[in-house]
Chain A
């Protein structure tokens, strides 16, 4: 109730010209140094991930038993692990894994969630009631429990991990989209569309949804950090990405054994995980303050 009404308010304030408004005010978004910082950091992390094959000084899987557990040196700026693999290279490739998994999860969650939420909100009635019941079932089970149970069932392959992480995102996007659609649906111009005989599909996808995009973008940004944390928690528990594919969570878990003797094993992947989450949380905050100051998409 609080959520939908807030979104309704939002819908009104960002009526049809959102896209131009967004473009026009991008400069205003960047006028905050914090936003600049977070956008810069995010971009940097994506670049590091994308360019990992170029930047990484060693192949991530290259072992060197003769130089295992080396502390940080000029050769290995973040040290090496138990079998002599370069931590820095693995951290970079870990960024690739974490970010791509998170992006895929968000894409799957967003695409399906927005569709479900939009249809549910627009149609209303029994369909809405049933969809929202199902959503509520999934919302009642904490993300990690659902993900763990699904990974246990499906096995820890990247595809299934993305799937397991997406399910709850779908429900989150569905809820927010539904709320926004309900708000926008009540506006006069939608009634006008109907009066001139536009089809429901056209109204929903060309006139209603584009105006619901604010809270959806905010949610997507906010969830990035969330999903990255979830993925690394799964890996940390041994149920996520499996060795030898590098993943920050697995690396932290592997370093756990040698916490006092070789702290660099878990320090650097942990630090990068922290930085990534910081970047996305700051960005999410900035985007939220900018697009959705009333916090409709807080979930």
Chain B
């Protein structure tokens, strides 16, 4: 039964993935500037001469002279085989570039979302249990401030205070160099927003669940307060919270782009920004495809998670 559900849901995400790959292709067709010029890698000071034949040669090499539909089919076929082409800037395979950047981004996103979920759920439950009291109000204000702080601005402040003045964490660099300390400030910069939203959802969901009959039933059984909250309340409150976590995981990518650039983390965000500034079409397409598929699969995982948590959800 569950297996059938999984299969069905997985099949369901195939059109989405096809759509993402197509979208990435269309994006490439819209991009201005001559990819062949970009491919030749102009000297930053513009002191180079590129002959017309050179450009023609590169155009042929990049397949820019073929009909669009042929380009699409070959793009699609290659993408299926994990071949997203080569960077027009340095000829590195886009798949390799992405594989190198992907773990960095995922590491950041997973750390952040776990931190945010932990803080958010705790804060939300705390708030719900103290509903209407000043603790609740304080918690709500904290979350609203958290949700309203621009991550890139927060990052600047954190760098100045914690990396420069207090010298507690590195300002720049990847986990590979500095270990987990490299994640602290980037995570802190972008965790605030999802944490706040998760807290808000946990609070309202928890309040709703706590008002339900089954909580009274559990209490009538003589169960302790925390048993009721953790065993009966929380699991039932979790479904909408997981939805929010799933959405926030994808939204995190938004903050992560600026944060990766600011902290010099070699992730997908940095890769994308570099590619955009260098007109590196294939890399832009590759990042769109990978990010799209990742979050399509995240949605899938969230749906599967529902059915694990809630036996009522079938198909």
Given contacts A142-B291, A145-B287, A236-B258, contact A299 B148 (CB under 8 A): no
Whether A2 contacts B239 by the Cβ 8 Å rule is: yes
Roughly how many angstroms separate A43 CA and B109 CA in the complex, as a whole number? 36
Which one of B147, B148, B152, B293 contacts A252 once the chains associate, using CB atoms below 8 Å?
B152
Contact A133 B19 (CB under 8 A): yes
29 contacts between A and B (CB under 8 A): A3-B243, A133-B15, A133-B19, A136-B296, A136-B299, A137-B16, A138-B23, A140-B296, A141-B288, A141-B292, A141-B295, A142-B295, A144-B257, A145-B272, A148-B272, A150-B27, A225-B148, A229-B254, A230-B254, A236-B152, A236-B258, A252-B153, A259-B159, A260-B160, A273-B153, A274-B148, A274-B149, A278-B148, A298-B197
Q: A191 to chain B: closest CB distance in Å?
A: 27
Q: Which residues of A contact B (CB under 8 A)?
A: 1-3, 133-134, 136-146, 148-150, 152-155, 225, 229-230, 232-233, 236-239, 249, 252, 256, 259-260, 266, 270, 273-274, 277-278, 281-282, 285, 293-295, 298-299
B interface secondary structure, majority:
helix
Query: B145 contacts the other chain (Cβ, under 8 Å)?
Result: yes
Taking beta carbons and an 8 Å cutoff, which residues of B are in contact with A? 15-16, 19-20, 23, 27, 30-32, 144-145, 147-150, 152-153, 156, 159-160, 164, 197, 200-201, 204-205, 208, 239-240, 243-244, 247, 250-255, 257-258, 261, 272-273, 276-277, 284, 287-288, 291-293, 295-296, 299, 313
B276 touches A239 (CB 8 A): yes
How far apart sit A249 and B156, CA to CA, in the bound complex (Å)?
13
The minimal Cβ–Cβ distance linking B147 to chain A, given in whole angstroms, is: 5
Report the Cα distance A229→B190, complex, angstroms. Answer: 13
Residues of A within 8 A of B250 (CB): 140, 142
Contact partners of A260 in chain B: CB under 8 A: 160, 164
A270 to chain B, nearest CB (A): 4
> What B residues does A270 contact at CB under 8 A?
150, 153, 156
User: A154, B30: Cβ atoms under 8 Å?
Assistant: yes
| Known A-B contacts A145-B257, A259-B156; A140 and B292 likewise in contact (beta carbons under 8 Å) | yes
A252-B153, A298-B201 known; A141 vs B257 contact (CB < 8 Å): no
Asked, given contacts A140-B299, A281-B147, whether A149 binds B288 with beta carbons under 8 Å apart, the answer is: yes
**B residues less than 8 Å from A141 (CB atoms):** 20, 23, 288, 291-292, 295
A152 to B275 CA separation, bound complex (whole angstroms): 9
**Which of B30, B159, B164 is the most central at the interface, judged by chain A CB atoms within 10 Å of its CB?**
B30
